[in-house]
Amino acid sequence: MIVEGADADLVLWDPQGTKTISAKTQHSKNDFNIFEGRTVRGIASHTISQGRVVYAMGELRAVQGAGRYIKRPAFGPNFKAQQIRTQDLAPTAVIR
């Protein structure tokens, strides 16, 4: 659920959009990309962070220093839930 004041970034996807991955066009300081030259379908068209559009149609609009650190536990509630699910679905011997 999206509610005012919630901590969430939103990404809008264009399922028909395509692009060819390249280190030359990525928004990163790395000079390589293991997917170099691969063409993909389904691309992010817009990203909203803290209520502001920070990426739109290929244009990075993020403001340096606008991010914030949010402390999270290394193994949060979703990790515990996955552990329980894995245990519940694990095969067990049938006692005869």
Q: Judge whether residue 38 has pLDDT over 90.
A: yes
| Cα separation values, 5 from 1, 9, 35, 37, 51, Å | 12, 12, 36, 40, 9
C-alpha neighbours within 13 Å on the C-beta side of residue 88:
6
Residue type, 56: A
Instruction: Give the model confidence (pLDDT) of 75-94 as tens digits.
Output: 888 898 999 999 999 999 99
At 17, the pLDDT band (50, 70, 90 cuts) reads: very high
pLDDT at 89: 95
* Cα-based angle 22, 26, 30 (whole degrees, multiple of 5): 90
Q: Which domains does the chain have, with CATH numbers?
A: 9-69 (2.30.40.10)
pTM check: above 0.75: no
Instruction: Give the model confidence (pLDDT) of 39-82 as tens digits.
Output: 999 999 999 988 889 999 989 899 999 888 888 888 888 898 99
